[in-house]
Amino acid sequence: MTHTATPNSSIEITVNGTRLSVSANHSLIQALWKTGHPNFKSASCLEGVCGSCRIMVKYHDQPDVSMALACQSRVEAEMQVVFPQYLEKQSSTLLNHRYQLQLSSESEQQLKRTFPEAAHCRHCHGCTVACPKGIDVEQGVKLANEGKLAAAGDLFINCVMCDLCSTSCPEDIAPNYVALFARRTSAFNQPTPPNLANRLQALQRGELKIKY
């Protein structure tokens, strides 16, 4: 049975092995801000950029550990949380993912050159299970491999680049970066909207003044 609490009460949770008393009815990140926990006094989301505060969480009444985001997880009594800050992919392949965007006729081959490991997907579902946003990550990689870059990019529209899909992949694939390539390529090959083209041309002609 899930533990409930009144709005002004406190509950006990465990974070990174430390027992904490936090305010009930808050998201985890809000509760930690209120405690003044040293690792969470500030976060990049306060500055307008998602910090991908990924967590591994086990709730009191559930046997399994799941992946989630701290801002989207409501605190519950006796929940156990780990911030896997050190689960970074230690791989040279990420350093090789450099490219210049090209016309759509060359995009599929460019994907294969830049992300050759993407073709080795084992379809183990690990990336999809690890995604805290519920994205069908494996399907996105499959679409990209088939040259369906626009569809692959659309599938990842809610991706926050937390890298959990990358760290869970036994083939050293970085699915979120494959998706980022797909989204960039699709945008690069779309015609510029007329109103935006007109404004850019006006800027080039010096007809628009920028107010600071």
DSSP string over 31-92: HHHHHT-GGGS--GGGGTS----EEEEE-TT-SS-EEEEGGG-B--TT-EEE--TT-----S
The SS3 assignment for 140 reads helix
What does the pLDDT read at residue 1?
44
Q: Among residues 8, 12, 28, which one has the least CA distance to residue 20? A: 12
Q: Which helix (H) or strand (E) holds 11?
A: strand 10-15
- Whether the predicted model's global pTM rises above the 0.75 cut: no
d(CA 46, CA 8): 24
For the chain, domains (ranges, CATH) are 10-82 (3.10.20.30), 93-188 (no CATH)
Query: Do the Cβ atoms of 173 and 117 come closer than 8 Å?
Result: yes
pLDDT < 70 positions in the chain: 1-8, 37-49, 85-95, 210-212
Tokens of 56: 């591994």
Residues in contact with 135: Cβ distance below 8 Å, sequence separation at least 6, in sequence order: 128, 155, 156, 158, 159
d(CA 182, CA 153): 5
Strand 18-23 relative to strand 54-58: parallel, antiparallel, unpaired? unpaired
Q: What is the DSSP letter of 20?
A: E
What does the pLDDT read at residue 19?
92
d(CA 178, CA 76): 35
Backbone angles phi, psi at 68, to 5 degrees: -160, 180
Residues in contact with 210: Cβ distance below 8 Å, sequence separation at least 6, in sequence order: none
The SS3 assignment for 103 reads coil
